Structure 1
Amino acid sequence: MTMSVTPKKAIRVVVWGENRHEQINEVVRGIYPDGMHATIAGGITELLGDDVTVTTRVLDDPEHGMTEELLAETDVLLWWGHTAHEEVTDEVVDRIQKHVLEGMGIIVLHSGHHSKIFRRLMGTTCSLRWRNDGSDRELVWTVSPRHPIAEGVPQPLIIPGQEMYGELFDIPDPDELIFISSFTGGEVFRSGITYRRGYGKVFYFSPGDEVYPVYHHPGVQRVIANGVKWAYSERERESYLVTPMYLPGGFDRPVLGSPDGLVDYYTRELIEPRENAG
């Protein structure tokens, strides 16, 4: 008897990049000639291979590349932004938040801490201390060594040149603290943190200023690839914003009202015609 094997589903990843520094800054263009988003995407593909399909989008794409159709087919979204946060429309932010709440994973990188979508998900200013004088070395210390995002990451992960981010980082208390970074000036920073928002997972990882080759760093690429695997959910996307109703005695069967009557929350099948509904 031959048993059929269901092929493993590849994680559908989209890397979003602001893609502005690469157009105007020769230093950045020299480090990332195809854009930071392309380097980040390449690292994910190299490490995860056939387990992922990776595409990229940028700010200047129609609808910033974040169409409803694309987001509905995205398992994990990565976001890098810096100087043009306010150019991202609120309509697109609403759309991304909806998909995160319904189960899409999101990884926010470096200056994305001030992006509209990260501030929306956090509900705070997400402000921090910073310094960028070209003299800082970052040591990324793993404080949760058994977390899947930390698997295979050097201890510490040494980044020879990097912008300093320091506390206070105005964010809600993380669900999980995975990495803490230290800098040459004595500053420390919660550089790898996770949250759950609705059915979706959120991972913020801070290393990645554009004038340093951070996204070429094998250790950084490993963290990001691990983050993709962690943020992915095998659970089917599910409406989060609709509040279901529960009938007496039906504590495990949520229902919704419709013009035809009551429908099952999950299947949307009619279970009680309107003439019979109370």
Structure 2
Amino acid sequence: MRVTVWNEGVHEQDPTMQVRYPKGMHGAIAGALRERLPGVEVRTATLADPGQGLPDEILDTTDVLLWWGHVAHDEVDDALVARVKERVLAGMGLIVLHSGHFSKIFISLMGTTCSLAWRNEGERELVWTVDPGHPIAEGVPQPIVIRQQEMYGEHFDIPQPDELVFISSFAGGEVFRSGVTYRRGRGKVFYFSPGDQDFPVYHQPEIQLVLANAVTWAAPPAERVLPAVSNPSAEWFLT
């Protein structure tokens, strides 16, 4: 399996980020995936890289793409978004993280505004598993306790999820559909909200486990050769 962790890489320019994420959020995520999924090829990419990190040679060799974006959504080329969407529809898995709900690719795949309520005061978040039989929830404790996190709340303007895996509750009383799945074409899409740049959430083992499970779930099946389909002759309809 080949995994690409894409991060716009803008917040990493803030010196305070070096304390929380010395290798960037993408580096922390990629390191956790390498540890938890031995044998999986994991690479990172950012907006500043050639081809905005996702030239065709990278996309063509990516089975699962993880996407983190926040303040640079508009800087992502529409042509790149179209190519990523094409790959998802063809079978590439996509995992959209936190503020990526406002990314061009997620909005394009959902067909809605993907807006939500939010407040960033470093509140406690409890991530509750509501579908314990789902592969993404395998081994995940109930609940995941995140001591400080940005609050995301309803209403979350997304289509009805194919599967609701996690919901979150916050100290202020809000709830949020924090882990949802979709099928788009032949590809699987998972949105997972925990992971703000101001807090070291991606270092939590429970969060890392969810992401590793999600990568395994989203990976396309082994390539299959579909049987040839031939059109019947016109005579068949006349007999």
- Which residues in structure 2 correspond to 1:84-95 (within 5 Å)? 84-95=72-83
CA contact (8 A) 2:121 2:149 kept: no
For residues 125 and 237 of structure 1, what CA distance do their matches in structure 2 show? 35
Percent identical across equivalent pairs? 64
Letter in 1 for 2:61: E
Displacement of 1:37 in angstroms is: 0.3
Residue in structure 1 matched with residue 7 of structure 2 by the alignment = 17
Residue in structure 2 matched with residue 231 of structure 1 by the alignment = 218
| Higher relative contact order (Cα pairs below 8 Å, separated by 6+ residues) | 2
Query: Number of aligned pairs?
Result: 232
Find the structure with the greater CA-based Rg: 1
1:214 pairs, out of 201, 207, 212, with 201
Runs of 4+ in 1 over 6 A off after TM superposition: none
Q: Structure 2: which 5+ runs fail to align?
A: 235-239
Displacement of 1:236 in angstroms is: 2.9
For residues 91 and 198 of structure 2, what CA distance do their matches in structure 1 show? 33
- Which residues in structure 2 correspond to 1:104-253 (within 5 Å)? 104-134=92-122, 136-236=123-223, 247-248=231-232
Displacement of 1:235 in angstroms is: 4.0
Superposed CA offset, 1:132-180 (max 9, x none): 022x100000000010000111100000000000000000000000000
Letter in 1 for 2:74: E
Change (3 A) 1:249 1:225: farther
RMSD over aligned CA atoms reads 1.7
**TM (normalized to structure 1)?**
0.81
For residues 95 and 161 of structure 2, what CA distance do their matches in structure 1 show? 14
CA contact (8 A) 1:127 1:169 kept: yes
Residue in structure 1 matched with residue 237 of structure 2 by the alignment = none
- Which residues in structure 2 correspond to 1:262-277 (within 5 Å)? none
Displacement of 1:246 in angstroms is: 6.4
